[in-house]
Structure 1
Amino acid sequence: MPASPVPDPTGLPALPASPRQPAWTIFLVFLRLGLSSFGGPAAHLGYFRHEFVARRRWLSEQSYADLVAMCQFLPGPSSSQVGLAIGLLRGGCRGALAAWLGFTLPSALVLMVVALSVLEDAHWLSGEVVHGLKIVAVAIVAQAVWGMAQTLCRGPLRLLIMALAALAAWALQGSLVQLGVIVVAGVAGRLLLHGPRIARQEQLPVVVSRRTGRACLLLFVGLLAGIPLLAALYPAPWLQQINIFYRVGSLVFGGGHVVLPLLQAELVPSGWVNKDVFLAGYGAAQAIPGPLFTLAAYLGVVMSAGPNGLIGGVLCLLAIFAPSFLLVTGLLPFWDEVRRQAAMQAVLAGVNAAVVGLLLAALYRPVWTSAIFSTRDLLIALVAFVGLVRLRMPSWAVVLLAVLATSLSALAGA
């Protein structure tokens, strides 16, 4: 018998319900993607489209575009959230968990191994390998700023929001400042900008009830408000870590690169993580496939206070991705209605412009100020930037070449 259509509460035509996939099948498909998806969130979305639209035909072009639009609307790692949504549509909650595990485990495990090597050998931190990773981080963050500004900062008002956000982040420090910038930018977007009108479009084959969606959204808000209160009443290190990473996972708009300024502001000034260790991990994360949010696993391992090591890595990884599970599951049943509201589109436009400003501020401090100390460093960073932007080289290749160039130039100058 053909599958019956999924009922749509808005009354618009729905896609036929697709056959459910076993969680094991979903896991294996996403594991292959997690082992091969280099290039950051934008590239991940291209890999997903090829796999699930063109090759497997699990989704139509329009359904896939709807999922991408929803995950761009949400805070958190957009490509991982698209994977979660695909797993949810094809296999329910088990499918979502299988998709996340498959896509996330490879990079998380590699970064935890790198972190353990950092802890085992302190001299590794003073070497040219780490310096090369920090230099290439300059090029990669600059590429992100350049690409995001072209898309998200069109027009004088959005450029102004971006500039003011960057100035505020430069002048003031701390995660609360960045949260305030995002809130103010959202209000400015609502008042000054206009979101695009969205036509009636194909409906997603949603398998999550609205009741479940409401429960997930309430749990997301409850944890976001309740964990800081618990952390204030019971200042245990493990609860402080959950508080930091859950909050960051709840507030990062703009994808993986934007996690850098938020985590840096939370962890480095407070002494949880050494600045050089932090930037070395960020650079190492560029050389491997999968989501950049798995940097949380690295940071959990190298924390100065327990729980650290492997337990800390797993704890921080789960905490930073938990908001994505709740938000995707919670919003999916309501997305079609939300995305058609011009007011919400305007708020998102303001927030996105501010996100570019925050990333621009992070490009200078801590990324630039911790990596560029000489003309040689500047030249390597410029060549890496050209390789990424003009030559469209894969990020892992740029990382390896930059580290090699730094090491060879250091040997030549010795």
Structure 2
Amino acid sequence: MGHQLNSHSYSKIFLIFFQLGCVAFGGPAAHLVFFHKTFVQQLKWLDEQQYAQLLALAQILPGPTSSQMGLAIGYVSRGYLGAVCAWLGFTLPSAIIMTVVAVLGVQLFPYLTSQFFHVIQLIVLAVVTWAFWQMLRSLCKQLWQYILMSFTALFLYFVPLALNQILVIVIAGLVGVVVAKYFKIEEQFTTQKISQKLLVPVRKKHAYIWLILFFIPFLVFPLLQNMHPSVLIKSFVSFYHTASFVFGGGHIILPLLHQDFVMTGLMSNEKFDLGYAFAQLMPGPLFSFASYIGALLPMTHSVILNAIIATVVIFTPSFLLIFGVLPYWSWVVKQKKIYQAIAGVNAAVVGILLCLLIQMTQKYVIQWMDILFIVCVIGLLRTNIPVWLTLIGTSGMYYAVLNLLS
């Protein structure tokens, strides 16, 4: 990469990430493989240690890991605008497609049958089940985490509060710090030994201002919501809060956004599930699901503007955190309490997904064939078959079977 900013043009950064955004299927784990191959092995913008430092930071911060990794690469390559170019290139393909899906969906929605939506709901259930299993294996390593995960799921299931999901994440972080006194909590944010000295060039002057900007919306948005309640303000609050409390993977946005938009009646469950199913077929970040939701919300009179607002707001915390925290890497990496809190939060987010999984199973599974279908989908997701091919192929076949039997 070189050891100074301004080494790559903005257009080059945008085009490289745009290409990645068009072909990066498979979720965050696959995205990180693409990034490593492109920026470490091929272009040599980063060496192994520099890449490892950026990845470690992206993993311990809330938000979409692969998107934050991308904008971090853009940031150290060409400063703040470089980060914007990287994010825009990587996000634009999926955001545009999801917005088009929302617009077309409004026109086609009345013509879709109940069986079609039933298959979509089962596809979503299968994806969530697979995501839960992956997160359980990677995020819960010790007995106390399994216990915390179970209590989280039970609390959410039996105590339906407006902010209960955010509440359990905060409490779980505190539990992680307390439990650390009695259990050895491993700092598993990376498998590599990483230098504590920051190896990438960043702008350290006044970096704390970005962190102040990150916390301001938590104070301002609730006041605005009380003074001028509207769908626009409520949507701002939801997208910003969701992105600020998402740990462990993009799938965790599903229960958070479902609670804010489906449970409140702003969007039907069928439209929500349809968008989430399509989001699995898209390359690039899963957070582009926000583009779909935004396009269907009556925030303004413009569908396109609504999609842009939702997309920008849900990614804003990532920018503020990367700009604000990366310059202080050498301090952050030494703070054991951060990793202890994250160990607790990881258990809680798996519990949130478990609660959603139980609720969805109760609503969506109505016959034994549904269970067989879900098992088949999960089995195929474990193979090397492309996700989009698995989801489209299995849903098409099961939809045909249901029509033949009806």
Give the alignment's TM-score, normalised by structure 1.
0.91
Residue 306 of structure 1 deviates from its aligned partner by 4.4
Query: Which residue of structure 1 lines up, in the alignment, with residue 357 of structure 2?
Result: 363
Residues 1:42 and 2:42 aligned together = no
Residue 202 of structure 1 deviates from its aligned partner by 5.3
2:244 to 243, 250, 259: 250
Query: Which residue of structure 1 lines up, in the alignment, with residue 106 of structure 2?
Result: 119
Query: Which residue of structure 2 lines up, in the alignment, with residue 278 of structure 1?
Result: 272
Residue 199 of structure 1 deviates from its aligned partner by 6.3
Q: Is the 8 A contact 1:238 1:307 kept in 2?
A: no
Q: Relative to 1, partners in 2 of residues 1:291 and 1:239: Cα closer, same or farther, differing over 3 Å?
A: same
How do residues 101-120 of structure 1 correspond to structure 2 at under 5 angstroms? 101-120=88-107
Task: Report SS of the residue matched to 2:364.
Answer: coil
After TM superposition, the structure 1 stretch with the greater mean CA deviation from structure 2, 165-174 or 97-106, is: 165-174
Q: Give the letter aligned to residue 39 of structure 2.
A: F
CA–CA separation in structure 1 for the residues paired with 2:289 and 2:280: 10
Query: Which residue of structure 2 lines up, in the alignment, with residue 268 of structure 1?
Result: 262
Query: Which residue of structure 1 lines up, in the alignment, with residue 63 of structure 2?
Result: 76
Query: Which residue of structure 2 lines up, in the alignment, with residue 163 of structure 1?
Result: 150
CA–CA separation in structure 2 for the residues paired with 1:308 and 1:171: 39
Query: Which residue of structure 1 lines up, in the alignment, with residue 320 of structure 2?
Result: 326
Deviations 1:89-121 (A, max 9, x none): 101111111111111111111111111112112
2:367 to 350, 374, 381: 374
Query: Which residue of structure 1 lines up, in the alignment, with residue 202 of structure 2?
Result: 207
Residues 1:348 and 2:342 aligned together = yes
Query: Which residue of structure 1 lines up, in the alignment, with residue 190 of structure 2?
Result: none
2:120 to 117, 130, 133: 133
Q: Give the letter aligned to residue 55 of structure 1.
A: Q
Deviations 1:346-396 (A, max 9, x none): 11111111111111111222x33443222222211110101112x233221
Deviations 1:101-160 (A, max 9, x none): 111111111111111112112324435443333212112111111111111111111111
CA–CA separation in structure 2 for the residues paired with 1:25 and 1:129: 42
Q: Relative to 1, partners in 2 of residues 1:305 and 1:325: Cα closer, same or farther, differing over 3 Å?
A: closer
Query: Which residue of structure 1 lines up, in the alignment, with residue 48 of structure 2?
Result: 61
Q: Is the 8 A contact 2:125 2:357 kept in 1?
A: yes
Query: Which residue of structure 2 lines up, in the alignment, with residue 187 of structure 1?
Result: 174
2:386 to 394, 405, 412: 394
Q: Is the 8 A contact 2:196 2:329 kept in 1?
A: no
After TM superposition, the structure 1 stretch with the greater mean CA deviation from structure 2, 135-144 or 301-310, is: 301-310
Query: Which residue of structure 1 lines up, in the alignment, with residue 15 of structure 2?
Result: 28
Q: Relative to 1, partners in 2 of residues 1:262 and 1:27: Cα closer, same or farther, differing over 3 Å?
A: same
Residue 226 of structure 1 deviates from its aligned partner by 1.0
CA–CA separation in structure 2 for the residues paired with 1:235 and 1:178: 22
Q: Give the letter aligned to residue 381 of structure 2.
A: L
After TM superposition, the structure 1 stretch with the greater mean CA deviation from structure 2, 182-191 or 57-66, is: 57-66
CA–CA separation in structure 2 for the residues paired with 1:19 and 1:271: 48
Q: Give the letter aligned to residue 399 of structure 2.
A: S
Q: Is the 8 A contact 2:24 2:283 kept in 1?
A: yes
Residue 26 of structure 1 deviates from its aligned partner by 0.6
Residue 323 of structure 1 deviates from its aligned partner by 0.8
Residue 29 of structure 1 deviates from its aligned partner by 0.5
Query: Which residue of structure 2 lines up, in the alignment, with residue 172 of structure 1?
Result: 159
Q: Relative to 1, partners in 2 of residues 1:406 and 1:121: Cα closer, same or farther, differing over 3 Å?
A: same
Q: Is the 8 A contact 2:196 2:333 kept in 1?
A: no
Q: Relative to 1, partners in 2 of residues 1:310 and 1:400: Cα closer, same or farther, differing over 3 Å?
A: same
Q: Is the 8 A contact 1:175 1:262 kept in 2?
A: no
CA–CA separation in structure 1 for the residues paired with 2:303 and 2:185: 45
CA–CA separation in structure 1 for the residues paired with 2:22 and 2:337: 39
Q: Is the 8 A contact 1:302 1:308 kept in 2?
A: no
CA–CA separation in structure 2 for the residues paired with 1:369 and 1:314: 35
CA–CA separation in structure 2 for the residues paired with 1:61 and 1:310: 40
CA–CA separation in structure 1 for the residues paired with 2:214 and 2:222: 13
Query: Which residue of structure 2 lines up, in the alignment, with residue 6 of structure 1?
Result: none
Deviations 1:276-302 (A, max 9, x none): 110111011001111111111101111
Q: Percent identity?
A: 36
Q: Relative to 1, partners in 2 of residues 1:320 and 1:190: Cα closer, same or farther, differing over 3 Å?
A: same
Give the alignment's TM-score, normalised by structure 2.
0.93
CA–CA separation in structure 2 for the residues paired with 1:168 and 1:307: 39
CA–CA separation in structure 2 for the residues paired with 1:164 and 1:318: 34
Residue 236 of structure 1 deviates from its aligned partner by 2.9
Residue 175 of structure 1 deviates from its aligned partner by 4.9
Q: 5+ residue gaps in structure 2?
A: 188-192
